[in-house]
A and B are shown apart, each in its own frame.
Chain A
Amino acid sequence: MHHLLSAADLSLGQATAILDVAEEMHDVQSRPIKKLPTLRGKTIINMFFEDSTRTRTSFEIAGKWMSADTINISAKGSSVSKGESMRDTMLTLDSMGVDCFVIRHPSSGAVAQASGWVRASVVNAGDGRHEHPTQALLDAYTMRRHFRATGDGEFAGKKIAIVGDLLHSRVVRSNVLLQRTLGGEVVLVGPPTLLPTGVETWGCPVTHDFDEVIGEADIVMMLRVQRERMSGGFFPTAREYAEGYGLTPERLARMKDAAAIFHPGPMNRGVEISSQAADAAASRVLDQVSAGVAVRMSVLYHLLGGEGEK
Chain B
Amino acid sequence: MKSDEGTRVVWDAGDISRALTRIAHQIIEANAGAEGLALLGIRTRGVPLARRLGTIISEASGVDVPVGELDITMYRDDLRRNPTRAVGRTQIPGRIDDRVVVLVDDVLNSGRTVVSSLEAIKDIGRPRAVRLAVLVDRGHRELPVQADHVGKDLPTSSDERVTVRLAEIDGEDAVTITRGLGA
Given contacts A31-B124, A33-B123, contact A306 B82 (CB under 8 A): yes
Given contacts A20-B87, A24-B87, A36-B74, contact A305 B79 (CB under 8 A): yes
B75, B90, B124: the one contacting A38 at CB < 8 Å is: B75
Instruction: List residues of A (260-310) whose CB comes within 8 Å of B's CBs.
Output: 301-302, 305-309
**A36 and B83 contact, CB distance less than 8 A:** no
> Does any Cβ of A come within 8 Å of B89's Cβ?
yes
**A20 and B84 contact, CB distance less than 8 A:** no
**A24 and B75 contact, CB distance less than 8 A:** no
Name the residue on A nearest B97 (C-beta). Answer: A32
B contact residues, range: 10 to 19
**A307 and B123 contact, CB distance less than 8 A:** no
**A306 and B87 contact, CB distance less than 8 A:** no
A27, A33, A35, A306: the one contacting B84 at CB < 8 Å is: A306
> Does any Cβ of B come within 8 Å of A112's Cβ?
no
B82, B87, B119: the one contacting A307 at CB < 8 Å is: B82
Instruction: List residues of B (108-140) whose CB comes within 8 Å of A's CBs.
Output: 119, 123-125
> Does any Cβ of B come within 8 Å of A37's Cβ?
yes
**B89 and A305 contact, CB distance less than 8 A:** no
Given contacts A24-B71, A24-B90, A38-B79, contact A301 B84 (CB under 8 A): yes
Inter-chain contacts of B88 with A (CB < 8 A): 24
Distance from A63 Cβ to chain B, minimum over Cβ atoms (Å): 14
**B83 and A307 contact, CB distance less than 8 A:** yes
Instruction: List residues of B (63-88) whose CB comes within 8 Å of A's CBs.
Output: 71, 74-75, 79-88
Inter-chain contacts of B81 with A (CB < 8 A): 306-307
Instruction: List residues of A (26-69) whose CB comes within 8 Å of B's CBs.
Output: 27, 31-33, 35-38, 66
Inter-chain contacts of A31 with B (CB < 8 A): 123-124
Given contacts A36-B74, A36-B75, A38-B75, contact A308 B123 (CB under 8 A): no
Name the residue on A nearest B122 (C-beta). Answer: A33
**B87 and A21 contact, CB distance less than 8 A:** yes
| Given A35-B123, A308-B83: 5 more A-B contacts, CB < 8 Å | A20-B87, A27-B90, A33-B123, A307-B83, A309-B83
Closest 10 CB pairs of A and B: A306-B84, A305-B84, A38-B74, A36-B74, A306-B83, A33-B123, A21-B87, A24-B87, A308-B83, A306-B82
